[in-house]
Amino acid sequence: MVFNRLWASVHNRVVSTQVEAARRRVVTASERPITASGLGTRLTGNRIRLDRMTAVWPDTVVVVFHGDDVQELRYPGDVVVPPVFPRRTPTYVLPIATGPVTVDVETTNAATLEGHRIEQVIIRLSLHLSPRDRYRVVSTLVAELGKGMEDFLLRQVRIEVAEAVESAIRSNRLADLRRNGLQQVLAHPWLPDTFAKGALIRDSFEVRSVIWPDLDAGRLPPAATTGLRLKLDERLEWIWKQHVDTRLRGIAGAQAEGGSTVIAVPVIQLAQYETERLREEYARFYEDPALALIAIARNSYQDLVSEWFRRVDTSPGRLVMVDDVGEDRPLRINVRQPTPPEGGRPAEQGGNVGTESARVALSRLLPHPRVEFIGIGRT
């Protein structure tokens, strides 16, 4: 009995002291100037090993792991105590923000009702985790995804917002969108109030930027003619047709050296949410969550390869020329070779352009017998 009273006294002093200190830190942080980016806190912190007694901060819940198992959820003011013998079975904690989190979502090439394409829309949202069932959804998602919960939830937000923006623009004429303003059009009824099956609740949103099409263009440009003859992988084409209506000129994929790439050439550039949806489907097909999908709408081999180079290489300025001398002969890609370190060996020609899977996928897409990378020394 004496021990219990003593522990309760210590417990109350620790909780009140730590929570009050946390509150002071939160107030101090809120009084600081907002950074240029304007972005709020992250959704999750780092998973850390618990080596001392600590209290949960305001606007935070903590998932407690005993070993590798999710044990319980702790709330603001709760005290989390490390095990008596931490070396035998260590305890870890993962803090989750329950306060507002700010996310920017970019949508590109969304088409209006009459076919005008809006080059870019940037939406900024303020979100918070749903408190339903006292944040039990957090325990469920962390048990399934670990710290990947944050990436999963924010990816769902970006997909669902981009899809809502696409649908709103596709259902309106350009003149109406400009007259009413995209903010007002999205507010009712297009932009959802919740995301990721209700796990996140929208507090507010703001249309930060819109790049409207050139109104002086008058009418839509005529359909472009093309001499491209590309290969179509039937399995990848079937998956494509299940999810988007845009016609394909060619599609190919490859897995090599632990990576996966799919290259698709549609007749018009896809919207961002369509590209992300397809990437997830091809990732399942190849059983590679990190798969890269490169969707390029181009009308010539030179333009196609130039854009492929820009997407896969960290220094796209190294591309000198794409030498297309006919489909029955190799397609040559002239590349500036990086200067080797003193005493080092020169890089293999083409071996440092993108990934192996990106190069193999390109060779499978093109009709040329092979693709050759020609290294050109720096002058």
pTM: 0.53
Confidence of residue 36 (pLDDT cuts 50, 70, 90): very low
Find, among 288, 214, 209, 204, the residue nearest to 253 by Cα: 288
Count of helices and strands (H, E) across the chain = 9, 16
pLDDT for 30 equals: 29
pLDDT for 325 equals: 67
pLDDT for 215 equals: 63
Reading across the β-sheet that carries 194-195, which strands appear in turn?
A: 101-111, 117-129, 200-211, 194-195
**Has residue 162 got a pLDDT over 70?**
yes
Question: Which tokens hold the place of 349?
Answer: 């020609």
Average pLDDT over residues 17-43: 41
Torsions phi, psi of 213, nearest 5?
-70, 160
CB 358 within 8 A of CB 292: yes
pLDDT for 347 equals: 47
**Has residue 74 got a pLDDT over 60?**
yes
Backbone dihedral region for residue 126 (phi beyond 0: left; psi -120 to 50: alpha; all else: beta): beta
Cβ contacts of residue 164 below 8 Å, gap of 6+?
Answer: 186, 190, 191, 192
CA–CA distance, 334 with 325 (Å, rounded to integer): 13
DSSP H helical ranges for the chain:
2-31, 136-145, 149-170, 174-180, 182-185, 234-243, 272-286, 301-312, 356-365
Write the DSSP string, 36-75: TT-----SB---EE--S-EEPPTTEEEEEEETTEEEEEE-
Question: Which tokens hold the place of 259?
Answer: 């990576």
**Has residue 84 got a pLDDT over 50?**
yes
Find, among 255, 361, 368, the residue nearest to 311 by Cα: 361
pLDDT for 87 equals: 66
Reading across the β-sheet that carries 259-266, which strands appear in turn?
A: 248-256, 259-266, 292-295
CA–CA distance, 143 with 70 (Å, rounded to integer): 6
Other residues' Cβ atoms within 10 Å of the Cβ of residue 77? 14
Pairing verdict, β 60-66 and 91-97: antiparallel
pLDDT for 255 equals: 94
Average pLDDT over residues 58-64: 87
CA–CA distance, 54 with 378 (Å, rounded to integer): 59
The CATH class for the domain spanning 101-214 reads: alpha beta
- Tell me which of 35 and 66 has the higher pLDDT: 66
CB 250 within 8 A of CB 230: yes
- Tell me which of 6 and 91 has the higher pLDDT: 91
Q: Is 249 in a helix, a strand, or coil?
A: strand
Cβ contacts of residue 377 below 8 Å, gap of 6+?
Answer: 336, 337
What is the percent of the chain where pLDDT is above 90?
23
Which of 14-18, 106-110, 205-209 is predicted with the least confidence, judged by mean pLDDT? 14-18
pLDDT for 207 equals: 93
**Has residue 39 got a pLDDT over 70?**
no
pLDDT for 63 equals: 87
Confidence of residue 14 (pLDDT cuts 50, 70, 90): very low
pLDDT for 91 equals: 83
Torsions phi, psi of 36, nearest 5?
-60, -35
Confidence of residue 9 (pLDDT cuts 50, 70, 90): very low
Cβ contacts of residue 49 below 8 Å, gap of 6+?
Answer: 86, 90, 91, 92
Average pLDDT over residues 20-48: 48
Confidence of residue 85 (pLDDT cuts 50, 70, 90): low
The full set of domain ranges for the chain reads 2-97, 101-214, 234-376
